[in-house]
Amino acid sequence: MKVVMIGASGFVGTRLIDLLKTDNNYELKNVDLLSSHFFNDVTVIGDVRKQEDMDKELSGADVVVLLAAQHRDDVSPVSLYYDTNVGGMEVTLKAMEKNGVRRLIFFSSVAVYGLNKENPSEDHPKDPFNHYGKSKWQAEQVLQEWHSSHSDWNINIIRPTVIFGERNRGNVYNLLSQISSGRFLMVGKGTNKKSMAYVGNVVAFVKFLIEEKKSGYNVYNYIDKPDFDMNELIALVEKVLNKHIPSIHFPYWMGMMGGYCFDILAKILGRKLAISSVRVKKFCATTEFDSSKMQSTGFQPPYTLSEGLSRTLEFEFLHPRKDDITFKSE
């Protein structure tokens, strides 16, 4: 089976290639604007926004996995979110049709639901609060409209929560790093739940979809359960690293004021800082999502959430590194 991945030179894509390479049943290709740190043997340079690139590179594919996206909080101009995340979907669908490919796995996001929603399932009303979430929802709408006239296609959409794991440099890593340093400032009471997804489980779910979900239009939230609250997360870090983690609690309003101050400072300095009002808002938000539909598929994650966090903590903070390769995300 030939699997063409678009945008798989990043964090999730690298782990997906690594997993699929262990199975001789797959012929793999990665189409990306960037070369791969580990898998240039299956990587070609191509732009998801360019029709001629996708028309050429999707030739012979049995399944397409669309990972390419603009996802960071600070993308400028904001039109890049829509050019890549929405325009890239339109280009990909046309290229698939031209090449006779009828199976697509698309990485969307729980960002389509918005902030502080109460355990939304896949059918929950969409209320994205940032350009990333808005562009992902628009891409899904393009896909919905396309499927209405291509009902024989197999479409699987994954809406993962925040994905973490070894080598990732995003919000979860930043949080774990701050906690492990012992210089952690807790905004709020620490009882807000944080849904997370370990990258090893996410890519295993993709492989499951390739092999088991070969028909229909399916949408799945992906979350590793049970959710941790911030206090439980601190306790796990303490256990894995075998150290006491002191934490100081600040009220929410004070945390947001600090975030706004850092926003102003970042604008003055002309560079992104580790603290911002958006990150404070995300940190304090309850981010629980319903994953019962995913769980009903029969998929068995290879790792528990605790195991995924422990593997990440041990890799990043306990064991000597052989290289400094990392992947930046939010």
Instruction: Give the model confidence (pLDDT) of 298-310 as tens digits.
Output: 999 999 999 999 9
Residues contacting residue 192 through CB under 8 Å, at least 6 positions apart: 229, 230, 284, 285, 286, 287
Spell out the SS3 assignment of 186-206: EECCCCCEEEEEEHHHHHHHH
* Confidence (pTM): 0.91
66 residue type, one letter: L
CB–CB of 188/251 below 8 Å?
A: yes
Tokens representing 84 are 């890549």
Res 330 pLDDT > 70: no
Residues contacting residue 120 through CB under 8 Å, at least 6 positions apart: 110, 113, 221, 289, 290
Q: Domain of 37?
A: 2-164+195-225
Report yes or no on 124 lying in a domain. Answer: yes
Distance set, CA 322 to CA 87, 198, 326 (Å): 39, 22, 12
Distance from C-alpha of 280 to C-alpha of 211, rounded to nearest angstrom = 40
Higher pLDDT, 330 or 187: 187
The single residue of 113, 132, 173, 222 carrying the catalytic annotation is 132
What pLDDT, on a 0 to 100 scale, did the predictor assign at position 185?
77
What pLDDT, on a 0 to 100 scale, did the predictor assign at position 50?
98
Domain of residue 119, CATH code: 3.40.50.720
Confidence of residue 207 (pLDDT cuts 50, 70, 90): very high
pLDDT in tens, 147-184: 999 999 999 999 999 999 999 998 899 889 988 887 77
Report yes or no on 54 lying in a domain. Answer: yes
Report yes or no on 294 lying in a domain. Answer: no
Burial grade of 66 (CB within 10 A; 0-12, 13-18, 19 or more)? buried
Report yes or no on 201 lying in a domain. Answer: yes
Alpha helices in the chain (DSSP H): 11-20, 51-57, 79-85, 87-99, 131-148, 171-181, 199-212, 230-241, 252-269, 277-284, 292-295, 305-313
How many folded domains does the chain comprise? Answer: 1
Report yes or no on 47 lying in a domain. Answer: yes
CB atoms within 10 A of CB 28: 20
Report yes or no on 293 lying in a domain. Answer: no
Report yes or no on 28 lying in a domain. Answer: yes
What pLDDT, on a 0 to 100 scale, did the predictor assign at position 29?
98
- Is 198 catalytic? The answer is no
Compute the mean pLDDT over every residue in the chain, rounded to the nearest whole number: 93
Report yes or no on 275 lying in a domain. Answer: no
